[in-house]
Amino acid sequence: MEHDEKNLVFTESIDGSRAALAGKITTLVDRENLANGSGTLIQILGRVFICTAGHVIPSNPTGRIWPLLRQIRHEGDGFPAYASFGRHPELDVGYLEIHPDAIEKYFGGDTFTTIDHIAVRGSGRPQHSVLVVGAPAAHREITRDSRTEMTYKANVMTYWTVPLSVSEWPVVPVVNRPPDESVDIFLNYPKDEAISADGRGPVDLPNPEGVSGGGIWDQEFNAGRVWDPSAIKLVGIQVAWNEQERYLRGIQIRHWLRLLYRDIPSLRPVLQERFGPDVVWDQ
């Protein structure tokens, strides 16, 4: 395959994946300081959850965390109420459950990821491409419209890479949790990409602050199969990065599933049926 053809395949795979994820990604804005994180909307048994990093969720999210979507929202619209929320005490994963009365008002017209689009893949499949999808704070646009009104526009980034094999994992500072093959995913995050999503590259990569909580998606390229962008799978949550060593750190999605299992007993049968032996539920 010629270089230009490879660029075209790469660009079309990114575009197809973006289209498949439209309406499933949200930017979480903290009203108190305008900082933002990222998240993925997941529907399970009619209940809608925002899958994100634990540190993105404050102790009082209702009235404070505003999920931005494709629709234009105004502060006068109010904030959605959260029926529940949870955070893992040690691993940096968390969820916000949208109150049933707020689902149609705030998320009507959008589709959600389902558990059929979640896959337990451990620390990632070596040499299989993944996408990190989130809204870097460096790309947000905030304009003051008046003394009482402003516009906050988040721009979602789709970053393509492959997971590092365990033998390639970086040395983590001693102040951080030690790497764990059953917990972590590590990804390179250089200062620029070898190629941009439109095939022109290279491009400078933004500071990924704000991408925390965003999904890590396996593109599901498999030998001998025709690729379908709707088949991409959520395999992890991006939670941290190291500027000096230029890596992203993620948590495997199994630990988010275990958090739901711990907190919401009514979901346990469907989680066990769908993911069965891939997750140690009671550890």
CATH number of the domain residue 175 falls in? 2.40.10.120
Specify if 283 maps to a domain. no
The pair of three-digit structure tokens given for residue 86, joined into one six-digit string: 């949870």
Residue by residue, pLDDT tens for the chain (283 residues) are 444 444 545 567 777 887 788 778 999 999 888 889 999 999 999 999 999 999 999 999 988 998 987 666 666 667 788 999 999 989 999 999 999 988 887 877 567 899 999 999 988 877 788 999 999 988 888 877 666 677 778 888 889 899 999 999 999 999 999 999 999 999 999 876 655 455 455 677 889 999 999 999 998 877 667 777 788 999 999 999 999 999 999 999 999 999 999 999 999 999 999 998 888 887 6
Looking at the whole model, is its pTM more than 0.85? yes
The answer to whether position 23 is within a domain reads yes
Number of structural domains in the chain? 1
Do the domain assignments include residue 275? Answer: no
Domain that includes residue 111, residue range:
3-268
β-strand pairing of 141-144 with 150-153: antiparallel
Name the region of 124 (left: φ>0; alpha: ψ -120 to 50; beta: rest): left
Give the separation between CA 26 and CA 159, rounded to whole angstroms.
Answer: 16
What residues pair up with 216 in beta bridges, in sequence order?
132, 236
